[in-house]
Amino acid sequence: MAKLIIANWKTFLGEKESLTLARKILSWQKSFIKKEIVICPSFPVITAIKKKIGKVIKIGGQNVATEEAGALTGEVAAKMLADVGCDYVIIGHSERRRLFGETEAIIKKKLAIVLKNKIVPVLCVGETAVERKNKKTISVLKKQLEVLQDLSFKKIIIAYEPVWAVGSDHTPTDEEIAQAHLAIRTQFGKKSGLKIIYGGSVDENNISAILATPAVDGVLVGRASTKEDFWKKIKNLNC
């Protein structure tokens, strides 16, 4: 099964930089066409990126509103994402939980609305450094995954992203990644539409080892995915 590579460009690239990188990726399209790649650009450039490389890669949103529509200044609704060609959306990212007060209730609402609009959710879960130190990793993951109860989904991505590994240059050991992924897998059984990917300081140097880790179906990459070197590596990767 092809490994899934999701690039989260966060707020790193403006229009010009996003298009320059997209152009580069397009010039290597032969190497990307058989890979499963999703790019989540910033909202203002989604349409431009989709137009440029939408035939080669899939596009995702980095966030979504909790409601279908209405007086929600600054928000982007699931249907709007679907309209501009987003097949995926990131939900419950640790930056959203930590910096924007996203609670489990909010995350659950977002999941429901996204599924209704036939967009695949990329649900991020992961423990803090203190929780890991106190050996709470597995119980934290179980608790965070409770948002999926009562939701029916054909396809979903769960991104295991330890909070302390995101944007930090620190990654868990391969064994720690495998343990977390197996715990998540065990909770769901063998669901064909479920992929479990790892995120947190993945880059061109560690991606091969992480993708080779048992139970890892792919990666969610932030900062590194905004650089040409990362795509050069992906281009030559057998994944």
Give me the active site residues, please.
Answer: 93, 161
Asked if 166 touches ligand PGA (CB under 6 A), the answer is yes
- Give the 3-state secondary structure percentages of the chain, helix then strand then coil, rounded to 5: 45, 15, 40
CB of 197 closer than 8 Å to CB of 159: yes
Give the contacts of 130 (CB within 8 A, at least 6 positions apart): none
Closest approach of Cβ 193 to ligand PGA, in Å? 21
Q: Find the distance separating the first CA and the last CA of the chain, reported in whole Å.
A: 9
Of 73, 153, 167, give the one whose Cα is nearest residue 118: 153
Near ligand PGA in 168-207, by CB under 6 A: 199-202
Distance, CA of 150 to CA of 184 (rounded, Å): 17
Asked if 161 touches ligand PGA (CB under 6 A), the answer is yes
Return the range that interacts with ligand PGA (CB under 6 A); candidates 22-30, 113-121, 150-158, 161-169.
Answer: 161-169
Token output for 12: 């790193």
Closest approach of Cβ 113 to ligand PGA, in Å? 21
Among 167, 176, 185, 215, binds ligand PGA (CB under 6 A): 167
CB of 24 closer than 8 Å to CB of 228: yes
Among 49, 119, 123, 220, binds ligand PGA (CB under 6 A): 220
Among 61, 92, 121, 222, binds ligand PGA (CB under 6 A): 222
Cβ-closest position to ligand PGA: 222
Return the range that interacts with ligand PGA (CB under 6 A); candidates 68-76, 112-120, 175-183, 218-226.
Answer: 218-226
- The CA distances from residue 64 to 14, 100, 118, in Å, are 20, 13, 13
Among 8, 63, 117, 144, binds ligand PGA (CB under 6 A): 8
Closest approach of Cβ 110 to ligand PGA, in Å? 16
Closest approach of Cβ 167 to ligand PGA, in Å? 4
Distance, CA of 157 to CA of 231 (rounded, Å): 22
| x/- map, 24-63, ligand PGA, by CB under 6 A | ----------------------------------------
Closest approach of Cβ 160 to ligand PGA, in Å? 11
CB of 22 closer than 8 Å to CB of 49: yes
Of 179, 184, 173, 171, give the one whose Cα is nearest residue 220: 171
Beta 4-8 vs 36-40: how paired, if at all? parallel
* Closer residue to ligand PGA, CB minimum distance, 131 or 199: 199
**Binding-site ranges for ligand PGA (CB under 6 A):** 8, 161, 166-167, 199-202, 220-224
